[in-house]
Chains A and B, each alone.
Chain A
């Protein structure tokens, strides 16, 4: 079964690369895949989770959001995260008074 994943992925890529990304067929296939993933989430994963009597614990419930957050982080380009870090570091490191005193010294 694991061998089927790269083969089917390559076949799907070879098929979809021929299509127009804004065309009807491409969007139809994407919508089909979306429906499949919604089914996977609702009828397989979350159903299996809620069959467990311990599923109401907070550290299990929060895993859904952690998973979404991880995907969100992967979607954000690394450069954006770097600039966000620089901006936060600048905000919390330099205060207006210190900046003023530095300018007087110079």
Chain B
């Protein structure tokens, strides 16, 4: 085996570590959902690690730039900034939020828009755009389990117990991450990202029914 293939295998093995860690984390989160403080601390820790890698590894490589290579460094940096902003702002306008897309692919459309509009009028919530089907299907499955006579009550309980974990601006809108959706009977659902008109924390931290079309 040549040296290049050996080096390639070594790199593949090193890169396999984060892949395994990501898969293990995805499995782990199915059984243990970290709290808000722990997840915030981990995000802060990750920011520090990435900052360290940036400052200690990448920027030290760039310090060798001289002469005309300085132009290449500037061109690469500026193109990186433009590329990331395009990725962050333009792509979601076309394909929407990845979490919602996955939900839409997995679930079938359900006819509950009228009920949601009625509930929104009761709770003074504005609705625009299509219904996010993942959210609706979660409610419908729970409603089927509990019985149809309890569906409207379940809707209202779901709206009032929805927890907003974080919210940040993306592509001119706010991407709101909602965490566990718990009903009054103890049934809870997983978290997902929802594009919204504004952060619900500024209006009502417990309500999230303001969304826009995904496309």
Binding site for B on A (CB under 8 A): 1-3, 5-6, 8-10, 13-14, 17, 21-25, 27-41, 43, 45-49, 51-55, 57, 59-61, 63-72, 75
Contacts and interface: CB of A to CB of B under 8 A. Distances in A.
A5 B18 contact: yes
Given A34-B77, A67-B49, A71-B48, A59 B41 contact: yes
Interface string B60-92: 011011001101111111111101110010000
Interface residues of B, number: 65
Nearest to B88: A43
Interface in B16-68: 16, 18-20, 22-23, 36-37, 40-59, 61-62, 64-65, 68
Contacts of B19: 2-3, 5-6
B94 interface: no
Contacts of B78: 35
Contacts of A27: 61-62, 64-65, 69, 72-73, 76
Contacts of A8: 15
Contact of B58 (A2, A34, A45, A66): A34
A54 B36 contact: yes
Nearest to A25: B72
B168 interface: yes
Given A2-B22, A37-B50, A39-B88, A32 B166 contact: no
Given A32-B83, A39-B84, A63-B45, A6 B16 contact: yes
B36 A1 contact: no
B2 interface: no
Per CB-CB distance, the 10 closest pairs between chain A and chain B, nearest first, are A67-B48, A71-B52, A35-B80, A9-B15, A31-B76, A28-B76, A24-B72, A2-B19, A63-B44, A51-B166
Contacts of B14: 9
Interface of B: 4, 7-8, 11-16, 18-20, 22-23, 36-37, 40-59, 61-62, 64-65, 68-69, 71-81, 83-85, 88, 165-169, 177, 199, 201
A17 B7 CA distance: 10
A24 B68 contact: yes
Nearest to B199: A51
